[in-house]
Structure 1
Amino acid sequence: MATPTNTATTAGTTTAAGRLGALARAELILLVRNRTALFVTLLMPLLMIGSIRAGLDRAGLEGTGMTLVEAAMTGGLGMVLVIVVYLNLVPAYVARREELVLKRLRTGEASDAEILAGTALPSVALTLAQCVIMVVAAVAFLGVRAPQRPELLVAGVAVGIVLLGALAAYTSTLTRTVESAQLTTMPLFLVSAFGSGLFVPLEVFPEKVEAVCALLPVTGVVTLLRAGWLGGADAGELLRAGATALVWTAVAVFAVRRRFRWEPRH
């Protein structure tokens, strides 16, 4: 007699992996059908990298230890995280909430964390794929040095995904409709783009401005990404960056647990 496996259903129940897979497949189908979301997910990061490079031409990188291409590509990794995870997930959570999808899912076996994670999985997979492609292409065709500390690069991407996914879930609580997501996501996007080192490395700013920008939510993630790819960061800088990223992640996760909306706003 065959015995049930971990991935099979047993006595009418399903495994966590099975539930996550089903949620992710359904979300991927919706993503593929949504042309606007596909544009944001696949093409906007590439367009923003071009904008980053144009901005760096005017900023000047003397004293940063980075070439123009290195600064643009490492900033591009952070931009992929912000756009594909944060900007894509906020309207996704809002749409599922307003369509009563989240409310119905809570009546089933899936836990709250599984519902949120399952919705995010397609965006996470696309983020990872784009990050890998960017690193490989930059090293192979643009003359950028290979990642100096891959473990920091992986850690930066992982923490960035969790942080921005949690921030997306929380921002959705402040967002009434899918259309208004364009407004509610703009503050974090602009603050991250110009204050967290995506468009311009923080080293070009005055010391006091740099110290303030170092405390922003995405700055720690960008610092880990650049240190992992290009090296050069000292232990103290890495410790501060890691601590900042983890503290913001913990705050965002706590806020989601306390404030996330599962039913439509009235």
Structure 2
Amino acid sequence: MSATTRRLNALGRAELTLLVRNRTTLFVALLMPPAMIMLMASTLDGMDLGPAGMSIGEATMTGGIGMVLILVVHLNLVSAYVARREELVLKRLRTGEVPDHEILTGTALPAVGLALAQCLLIVIAGMALLDLGAPRRPDLLVAGILLGTLLTAALAAATSAFTRTVESSQITTMPMFLISLPGSGLLFPLDVLPDKIASVCELLPLTGAMTLVRAGWLGDTGSGELLGAAVTALAWVVVSVFAVQRWFRWEPRR
């Protein structure tokens, strides 16, 4: 086992212990995504999804994966980064041999692992309980989930730079949630929106990843749309990483 792997394992185990001890964070990570999926199912009930070429079950599962990315990865990681910064944990870690990117990655490992496990459960539940059948393009589904996870984790680190306290993270994470819910295809497919509004929504941070997730379920998305979705998602990842390098704070805000 390499030194990098050992350090990441140690950081990940420590962060997992803190996650399990924080009942509020654990509640949000484990129970909020199922609750939001039920809300989406009730919202989509009776909606005409013909223009989107999706069933209610497929739309619900797609939105459920997006909810996991926002609630489990983005929301939890903003709180985690801010808490470790204010507790001087990040500052102490930087005095050792651990590189900056390993500190950020190790802190994110438990949330990312939990999110990936929940996404897998959503896919299995969709096939077993909603009679959706297997995803037609599992490669695109996996690519969308991985891109979305990377993006929401990077955005969380960037957002923490502008978050003064753990309590205020509930406010700074709200724009991502409120914008993505209707604008990135979580609450309903973008195809049901007017063309001009849908074109703007396609440029939102999480839309590209969600387009790949939807294509993984349906398997009928054109190559041009897939390429555009992947480029949009990668562009947001690059912007987020740049923001982290430029503005991420390692010491408490005073």
The alignment's TM-score, normalised by the length of structure 1, stands at 0.94
Residue matched to 1:10? none
2:181 is the alignment partner of 1:193: yes
Q: Contact 2:137 / 2:217 at 8 angstroms: preserved in 1?
A: yes
Residue matched to 2:239? 251
Task: Pick which of 52-61 and 222-231 moved more.
Answer: 52-61
Please tell me the residue identity of whatever aligns with 2:72: V
2:85 is the alignment partner of 1:97: yes
Residue matched to 2:198? 210
Residue matched to 2:8? 20
Identity level (%) = 62
Q: After TM superposition, list the pairs within 5 Å mapping 1:1-266 onto structure 2.
A: 6-7=1-2, 15-57=3-45, 59-266=47-254
Please tell me the residue identity of whatever aligns with 2:233: A
Q: How much does 1:18 deviate?
A: 0.3
**2:50 aligned counterpart, secondary structure:** coil
Please tell me the residue identity of whatever aligns with 1:25: R
Q: How much does 1:60 deviate?
A: 2.5
**1:216 aligned counterpart, secondary structure:** coil
Q: How much does 1:145 deviate?
A: 2.2
The 2-side partners of 1:180 and 1:194 are apart by 23
**2:132 aligned counterpart, secondary structure:** coil
Structure 1, unaligned stretches of length 5 or more?
1-5, 8-14
Q: Contact 1:224 / 1:242 at 8 angstroms: preserved in 2?
A: yes
The 2-side partners of 1:232 and 1:153 are apart by 13
Q: Contact 1:145 / 1:230 at 8 angstroms: preserved in 2?
A: no
Structure 2, unaligned stretches of length 5 or more?
none
Q: How much does 1:62 deviate?
A: 2.1
Q: How much does 1:59 deviate?
A: 3.8
Task: Pick which of 41-50 and 144-153 moved more.
Answer: 144-153
Q: How much does 1:58 deviate?
A: 5.2
Please tell me the residue identity of whatever aligns with 2:96: G
**1:261 aligned counterpart, secondary structure:** coil
Please tell me the residue identity of whatever aligns with 2:111: S
Please tell me the residue identity of whatever aligns with 1:120: A
The 1-side partners of 2:22 and 2:101 are apart by 24
The 1-side partners of 2:106 and 2:192 are apart by 40
For the pair shown, the structure with the greater C-alpha radius of gyration is: 1
Please tell me the residue identity of whatever aligns with 2:42: A
Please tell me the residue identity of whatever aligns with 2:71: I
The 2-side partners of 1:113 and 1:59 are apart by 44
For this pair of structures, how many residues does the alignment match?
A: 254
The 2-side partners of 1:83 and 1:17 are apart by 27
Q: How much does 1:56 deviate?
A: 1.3
Q: Contact 2:82 / 2:166 at 8 angstroms: preserved in 1?
A: yes
